[in-house]
Amino acid sequence: MLRAVAVSTTAAAREAQLAHRAWPVAAAAMGRLMSTAAILGADMKDDEGRITVEANGDGPLGRVVAEARAMGELRARVQHPDIDLPLRSDGKLAVGQAVGVEGFFRVMRQDAQGGWYQGQVELQTGEIGDDFLHYLTQSEQLPSAVSLGVLVGQEGLVIGSGGVMVQALPGCPRDLVDGTAARFGELTQISRRLADGETLENLIRMVLPEPVRWHPQESLQWSCWCDRDRIADMLRTLPDADLKDLISDGGAEVTCHFCRTAYQFSVSDIESFRESRADL
């Protein structure tokens, strides 16, 4: 009658921060969005699926994107990682101000056949957790509770990141919903708990009543699935005039938006792309 998903994304969020050289507020936005993608990724049924979550508001961070694949691979990017904002009055990172409230929160799902399915809602607070909850309420129409958090240590690096989602399935008694909601309200400082070594099982036990039926735990890790061949295929689709311009420029350098890996293509590479396309 109740389902819960808990994720720890600390290592992945730190890798994202390092890849983008992100300041704390940008790292927190990416970490929260990666936790969102990981939670939604728990429902993927095939190894070729992908979840893309995007928060695009009018704040200084610009577009923030996180992706999850069925094997537990996570990656994220932020348009302006070098944004630095003062802490809120409660001492927390100003993620909502950095993301903004005018814009949209979007979830895209790709199945094994390559088909895309999209749902989108307006941003509520830009804090990611509130926006994710609004999406769940509008798209799945199930009573839900969400808590996301990212903790940055004194050295400016992520030391705790994760989240918990609980949903009441159809037919769940009202008193069970109310009792679970009350316990969930006491589940505070998730990122601090994870940084201090709290297990995901303990987080769920704090919320769900017994008995709990556990599904096998899955690993999550930062991983970017860009590669040189994919980028080469992309370059082959460019108009011939653009390829000629790249040849005139002495070649091309293409940088992955997620992992910041730079791929070099020489003049001879570009010429071979033109020749292979002419052969087709």
End-to-end CA distance of the chain, in Å? 56
Q: What angle do CA 231, 236, 242 make, to 5 degrees?
A: 105
Q: What pLDDT is attached to residue 280?
A: 46
- Taking Cα atoms as reference points, which of 8, 4, 5, 6 lies closest to residue 161? 8
Instruction: Output the pLDDT for position 278.
Output: 55
147/216 same-domain check: yes
User: 224 is written with which tokens?
Assistant: 């970017």
On whether the pTM is more than 0.95, the answer is: no
Give me the pLDDT at residue 248, please.
93
Give the domain range for residue 23.
2-222
**Residue where a domain terminates, one of 222, 249, 270:** 222
**CATH number where 126 lies:** 3.55.30.10
- Tell me, what CATH number does 250's domain have? 3.90.1280.10
Domain tally, the chain: 2
Q: CB-hemisphere CA count at 13 Å for 165?
A: 25
Residues 87, 210: one domain? yes
Are 145 and 205 members of one domain?
yes
215 shares its domain with 251: no
Pairing verdict, β 50-56 and 104-110: antiparallel
In order along its 280 residues, the chain shows pLDDT tens digits of 999 999 999 999 999 999 999 999 999 999 999 999 999 999 887 677 899 999 999 999 999 999 999 889 999 999 999 999 999 999 899 999 999 999 999 999 987 677 888 999 999 999 999 999 999 999 888 889 999 999 999 999 999 999 999 999 999 999 999 999 999 999 999 999 999 999 999 999 999 998 999 999 999 999 999 999 999 999 999 998 999 999 999 999 999 999 999 999 999 999 998 887 654 4
Contact 265, 252 (CB under 8 A): yes
Same domain, 139 and 237: no
